[in-house]
Amino acid sequence: MTKDDSYFGEKEIDLEKEIEDLKKKETSQIELVWLRFKRNKLALFGLGVLLMLIIVAIFAPILAPHDPIKTDIYNTRAYPSLEHPLGTDQLGRDTLSRLMYGARIALLIGLLVVFVSGGIGVTLGLIAGTKGGWIDEVIMRTVDAFLAFPTLIFGLALATSLGFGLYPVIIAVGLVMWTRFARITRGEVLSIKNEMFIESAEAIGESKTHIVLRYFLPNILPSIVVMATIQIPWAILAAAALNYLGVGIQPPTSSWGEMVKSGSVYMQFNPLLVTVSGMAIVITVLAFNFVGDGLRDALDPVRRGGK
């Protein structure tokens, strides 16, 4: 017996009171997502790390103890000291300061690449999945063409031909990555395309654009968020790899990839540089992944209600 069995009596219902009660009980969407997110300790930890990184990146000029590009040839590959808490590199530049400025580059690349490639990929994936037919064919064959190249080689070629600096790296990595978003999005669209709620939406008179934005997009969003949080660290890694290989951001601008590169050359003299810059990449990547996991669970209303 469910408790709503009694509803059959046509009793008069006080609408005012019902609406009043309802307003009291209502919790906003964002609150619900946050409540759920909070329960995942690892995700919370990841979020803390990310916030710290962002603060460091924003306030690097204030927080950094030294100028990151100032060399000191009398004090190269130094071990930690009070003046240089994480030592110095082969040119005597302060490792901690370079790490802090490197965080700027890393976050900028990670976020920009994912926003740009995610935007392009999700849009094209939605179009391909919902339109179908020759439009789908054209988009997906383009994706295949992009995927046919080994990603790093492709990025290397692009970054080389686009010249040095931050934006060529972003464009190169972004061009490699949009295909993944497009594929995931299209796959998700196809999996819910035949759900009856799409046809129900048509039956109540929703326009095609609204169906895409209100019915398809929210249902694929959890997958996209997870994808994005996997792709941000991937973009950071790819950019680091490109820097390691010598294209993209050029010295003396500090990037974590470049630091790993020069650190690895002098590893036998002072392993600290390669270790801390490597650790910075690992921690950032992990933090994004934790947050992504937490967000996916928090965004899914089916899981949201659980314990």
Partner 1 sequence: MNLVETENLKKFFDSKKGTVKAVNDVSINVIKGETLGVVGESGCGKTTLGRTILKLIKPTSGKIYFDGKDITNLDGEDMRSLRKKMNIVFQDPVSALNPQMTVYDHLNRPLVIHNMVDSEEEKLRRMVDILNTMGLKAEHLIRYPHELSGGQKQRVCIARALCLEPDFLVLDEPTSALDVSVQSKILKLLDRAKRKFKVSYMFISHNINLVRAISDRLGVMYLGKLVEIGDSTDIFNEPKHPYTQALFKSVPQPDPDEKVEAPLTGQVPSPVNPPEGCAFAPRCPRSQSVCERDNPDLIEAYGRKIACHRYK
Q: Using CB under 8 A, list all residues that contact partner 1.
A: 2, 4, 7-8, 13, 15, 18-19, 21-22, 25-27, 195-197, 199-207, 214-215, 218-219, 221, 301-302, 304-305
Task: Closer to partner 1 by CB, 10 or 268: give it.
Answer: 10
For the bound state, the minimum distance from the C-beta of residue 18 to partner 1, rounded and expressed in Å, comes to: 4
For the chain, the straight-line distance linking the first and the last C-alpha, in angstroms and rounded, comes to: 25
For residues 50 and 251, give the distance between their C-alpha atoms in angstroms, rounded to a whole number.
26
Task: Closer to partner 1 by CB, 15 or 148: give it.
Answer: 15
CB-CB contact of 266 with 140 (8 Å): no
Task: Closer to partner 1 by CB, 200 or 250: give it.
Answer: 200
Question: Which tokens sit at 302?
Answer: 């089916």
Task: Closer to partner 1 by CB, 19 or 62: give it.
Answer: 19
For the bound state, the minimum distance from the C-beta of residue 193 to partner 1, rounded and expressed in Å, comes to: 12
Task: Closer to partner 1 by CB, 3 or 74: give it.
Answer: 3
Q: CB within 8 A of 180, min separation 6: which ones?
A: 117, 121, 227, 231
Nearest alpha carbon to residue 253 among 51, 68, 50, 66: 68
HSE toward the beta carbon, residue 80, CA cutoff 13 A: 7
For the bound state, the minimum distance from the C-beta of residue 207 to partner 1, rounded and expressed in Å, comes to: 7
How far apart, in Å, are the Cα atoms of 99 and each of 96, 150, 160, 169?
Answer: 5, 30, 25, 19
Task: Closer to partner 1 by CB, 209 or 268: give it.
Answer: 209
For the bound state, the minimum distance from the C-beta of residue 233 to partner 1, rounded and expressed in Å, comes to: 27
For the bound state, the minimum distance from the C-beta of residue 126 to partner 1, rounded and expressed in Å, comes to: 15
For residues 19 and 238, give the distance between their C-alpha atoms in angstroms, rounded to a whole number.
53
For the bound state, the minimum distance from the C-beta of residue 10 to partner 1, rounded and expressed in Å, comes to: 8
